[in-house]
Each structure stands twice: as structure tokens, then as C-alpha cells.
Amino acid sequence: MNFDRTLIITGGAGFIGSHVVRLFVNKYPNYRIINLDKLTYAGNLANLKDIEDKPNYRFVRMDICDFEGVLKLMQDEHVDGIIHLAAESHVDRSIKDPFTFAQTNVMGTLSLLQAAKIAWDSFEGKRFYHISTDEVYGALEMTNPEGVEPPFTTKASSGQHHLAYGEKFFTEDLKYQPHSPYSAAKASSDHFVRAFHDTYGLPTIVTNCSNNYGPYQFPEKLIPLFINNIRHRKPLPVYGKGENVRDWLYVEDHARAIDLIFHQGKTGETYNIGGFNEWKNIDIVKVLIKTTDRLLGRKEGEDMDLITYVTDRAGHDLRYAIDSTKLQKELGWEPSLQFEEGIEKTVRWYLDNQEWLDNVTSGDYQKYYEQMYAGR
């Protein structure tokens, strides 16, 4: 079968990557989509069960740090685009094990960049799209602890915006000031991507997105961890006073932005992605408890006593808030979901997919690959 394009999506077995792979495989049957993933603890092929037999999909188990392997794959498959999501992504793990974060996020990205530079004789029609995080900008001050209406509004149809907890927002021109080993490694990889654009003319794009939530997120992150704990009536470990602010975006809205930017974004540019949806952790936790209780047929709020304040995360960034005006104005992207709607969908998904959660928490999901690919 002839395809119009062949893309590598790295980290496609992870949380956001699986949504991006699914979107591209279904929306572009004329594209060959190669999911390149090492399958670390965070990679789970069960996230892609519904598309794994599609004729335009191929999975390759590979480490992005394997430069020779990546180069050969790019040459053999005539790859003309890379959407790079593979990374170590959990801040708490980065505090315990910074080396792995530097290795994967920095050296892995460099290996992909160098492979693309060599594999592509001409850069015409090629694209290297690097997915990054808003955490590279560091932390914002909380000048409005009670919250005020944000100065920017999304289009009326989306309805998504929540209170703003400060005057300042992350804009694309802001200085990078990462604090955690995770964000330092992502910042470093962003710099390498820009350096390859500026030095060699590689057609790169970088996007920095706020916190994502939705189905298939590994339950070490706040939202899936807490939904699972509420279900099992386990304590909910809220770091510090629960006053830290994060800006939340439904994962499918991020995937739609990636599709739009991959096709219509300008090379050499950076775009921030976010829905003006700031929440204090403690307020999210309360919404999660109420929603989960209601959907489980419990009395709404009866599990509030599971909230347990624990020692704060070292170097815990106070506030993240993305200004995505550039993306909204230049490319017409907007988030599609109200947060309450997205949270309801998300809680419902985790409750309906308890088997997925149990497999992930027990480690059984790691056997899926061995069974699937045994004898191939």
C-alpha cells in the first residue's frame, strides 16, 4: 500500500502519545504511522488496542537514545515527519532519579534530531515537532490567591476558563527557568531542538503545553491516582497545603492542537497550548471526590475525610498558567470541553475501565507486549 506520508510518533504507548497516535491513525488513513516506544513502566500497548490492527499502523519497540536504530528506521521507512513525545514525565521520579531524565529527555531528543538531520537529504516537506511542557518556564507568583476572571477569554463556544490566580502568564517569549530535574531536562531538549533549527535549518516546531488529564494517564499523576484511591477508599496524599495551582487541559484537546500545529504551524516557531483553566490542587481534589462519589452511587462528598496533607514536594512550583493567545489567534485552536464536563468524562472512564487501572497498578500490563508479539 502506498502512503502519502510516513510519520514516527515517539512515546505513542504513553498517555498523550496514545491519543495522538489514535487521532492520526484514524484521521489520516493515507499516512503510515510508526509508533516508536521503548515501553518503559509508562508505556502500555493496551492503550492502543482499538487501532493496533489498522493497516496504516506499525509499532516499533525502540529506545530513542538508540541513534543507529532510529537512523536506520528513518531511512528504511522513508520517514518525513517526527512527532516527538517520548520522555520521562513524572516530576517526583525526576527528584529521585535525575540521570534517567537527562538520558531520555536530553540525549534521546538529541539522538532523534541528529538522525533526522542525516536521514533527510532535503528538508523540503519535512517536519520535526517536539512536544514540551509549560514547566520549562518555572513557577509564577500567586498575586490573586482568591482568584479573579482571567484577562484572556477563549471563544464563547468552548466556555472553558476558570479563575486566574495572578497577573502573569507563561508567554512564548518568557525566559526559561526550570526548577525540577524533569523540567530542566525538558528545557534542555527544547534548546537542542531550537539549536538544530538555527544551526542546520532543521524544520522544527516546539510546543509547550499545560497539565493534561483524561483517559489512559498513568496512575502516579494526581488525577488518575486520586480517582483510583477514592474508589478504594485509600488516603489522598495532598502535597503541602494543596494551594499549588495547575492549568488543566483535556488530553484530546492537546492531541487536536498537535494535529493542527503539525500541519499548519510555522517551522522555527514555538506555540503555548492551554485552556485558561487554573485550579488549586485542593479544589480539584474536592471536585474529584464529589464526582467519583456520585458516579459510584455514594453520598456526594462522603469521602472528603480521605484528604491527607503530606510533606510538600521538594521545589514544588507554586503556579502554572499558560497564555495560549498566539495559538488561538494564529491557528484558530480552542479547547472543546468545559472542565466539569472533562472531569466527569475522565472519572467515568477510570471507573468503567477498572481492569485497565488494576493491570497498570499490578504491573500486569507489561506482559501484554510479550504476549502480543510472542513468535513474531
Instruction: List interacting residues with ligand TYD (CB under 6 A).
Output: 91, 211, 221-222, 225, 237-239, 244, 246, 281, 313
Which residues, 6 or more positions from 122, have their beta carbon under 8 angstroms from its beta carbon? none
Kindly report the number of other CB atoms within 10 A of residue 65's CB atom: 18
Contacts with ligand NAD, residue ranges (CB under 6 A): 10-11, 13-17, 37-40, 42-43, 63-65, 85-89, 104, 108, 131, 133, 186, 209, 211-212, 218
Question: Per this entry, what is the length of the chain?
Answer: 376
As given in the structure block, the three cell numbers for residue 166 are: 495572578
135 in active site: yes
Catalytic residue among 37, 80, 135, 172: 135
Given ligand TYD, ligand NAD, none, residue 104, with its beta carbon under 5 to 8 Å by kind, binds: ligand NAD
Which amino acid is it at 155? K
Q: How far apart are CA 303 and CA 201, in angstroms?
A: 55
Given ligand NAD, ligand TYD, none, residue 73, with its beta carbon under 5 to 8 Å by kind, binds: none
Helix (H, G, I), strand (E, B) or coil at 348: helix
- For ligand TYD, give the closer residue by CB, 11 or 203: 11
Report DSSP state, residue 312.
P
Helix (H, G, I), strand (E, B) or coil at 162: coil
Q: How far apart are CA 264 and CA 110, in angstroms?
A: 24
Catalytic residue among 137, 165, 182, 216: 182
173 in active site: no
Q: Taking the complex as a whole, how short is the minimal distance between the CB of residue 239 and ligand TYD, in angstroms?
A: 4
Given ligand NAD, ligand TYD, none, residue 15, with its beta carbon under 5 to 8 Å by kind, binds: ligand NAD
Q: Taking the complex as a whole, how short is the minimal distance between the CB of residue 223 and ligand NAD, in angstroms?
A: 10
Which residues, 6 or more positions from 145, have their beta carbon under 8 angstroms from its beta carbon? 165, 243
As given in the structure block, the three cell numbers for residue 347 are: 472519572
Q: Taking the complex as a whole, how short is the minimal distance between the CB of residue 279 and ligand TYD, in angstroms?
A: 10
Given ligand NAD, ligand TYD, none, residue 225, with its beta carbon under 5 to 8 Å by kind, binds: ligand TYD
Which residue numbers are catalytic? 134-135, 182
